[in-house]
Amino acid sequence: MNAREKILNAIAANQPEAVPLPVIDKDTVISYNDVGMQFNTMLESIGGKAVCIQDLQVLKESVNADKATGKFIVNTIEALGEVDEYVSSLSAAQLEKLEKAYIKGTVGVAENGAVWIYESQMLNRLVPFICQHLVLVIDKKDIVPTMHHAYAKIDTAQEGFGVFIAGPSKTADIEQSLVIGAHGARSATVYIIE
């Protein structure tokens, strides 16, 4: 008998009598008066930065200004100008000098400041992690109160990869001292389009 059969048989023999699966009633969990404000507060508390904007003009200017510095900047958002499609085939070595990436998020979560990004939105799975600075863009209407609401809005089986990102990369592995910028982005800014 191979390991698979052995394990599954042992589990079948040993698992307890069936108990029912509880129902999650997401309407009974907390709701915030102002999910936008809660999102901002949470994000700032974890070292991120929230910027509310009325239209995309300021962002477009920001992308242009960044690109003008000659640094390696990646824009993946069509509404902000030319999309840097070529990054989808870049290797880690080629992305190593990535300074900043602009990525559109699908959902923002008020209770924890996280933003959901699909693989298609980041073009290359490495981009949001390997960049020094991460800029995420979400629509205010896409901010939901809790993770329960977030999972109702996304489909984790839709693409090969997706991620909730909450603020910049961090660690407290040395004496519990918080240090921002462990392996991933050193800063995370979320632009919220009103």
Partner 1 sequence: MAKHAALSEKFIADEPRTDWHDETLWFVRQKRDKAAHGLPGWEQLRELASQIKNHTLSNLEKYLRQFEQQAKANGITVHWAADGDEHNKIIHDIIRKHNIEKIVKSKSMLTEECHLNEYLLHQGIEVVDTDLGERIVQFRKEPPSHIVLPAIHLKKQDVSETFHKYLQTEKGNNDPQYLTEAARQHLRDKFIQSELAITGVNFAVAETGGFVVCTNEGNADMGAHTAAVHIACMGFEKIIPKAEHLAVFLRLLARSATGQAITTYSSHFLKARRGQEMHIVIVDNGRSKQLGRKDFRNSLKCIRCAACFNTCPVYRRSGGHSYHTAVAGPLGSIINPNMDMKANADLPFASTLCGSCSNVCPVKIDIHEQLWKWRQVVVAEGYVDASKKTGMRGMAYILAKPGMYRFAGKMGRWVMRTFPFMINNKLNAWYKQREMPEVPKQSFRDWYLKNRGK
Burial of 12 (0-12, 13-18, 19+ CB in 10 A): exposed
**Edge to edge, what strands does the sheet with 49-53 contain?**
49-53, 187-193, 133-139, 100-104, 73-75
Quick note: the x/- pattern for partner 1 over 122-141, rule CB under 8 A, is --xxx--xx-----------
**Segment contacting partner 1 (CB under 8 A): 60-68, 75-83, 135-143, 146-154?**
146-154
Quick note: the x/- pattern for partner 1 over 98-117, rule CB under 8 A, is -----------x-xxxx---
Question: How near is the Cβ of 11 to partner 1 at its closest, in Å?
Answer: 5
| Subset of 7-26 contacting partner 1 (CB under 8 A) | 7-8, 10-22, 24, 26
H/E run at residue 133: strand 133-139
**Structural tokens at position 82:** 């030319």
Question: How near is the Cβ of 141 to partner 1 at its closest, in Å?
Answer: 20
| Subset of 51-80 contacting partner 1 (CB under 8 A) | none
Rounded CA separation 34/124 (Å): 33
Nearer to partner 1, 114 or 137 (CB): 114
Nearer to partner 1, 6 or 141 (CB): 6
Residues whose CB is less than 8 angstroms from the CB of residue 172 and which lie 6 or more positions away in sequence, other chains included: 178, 179
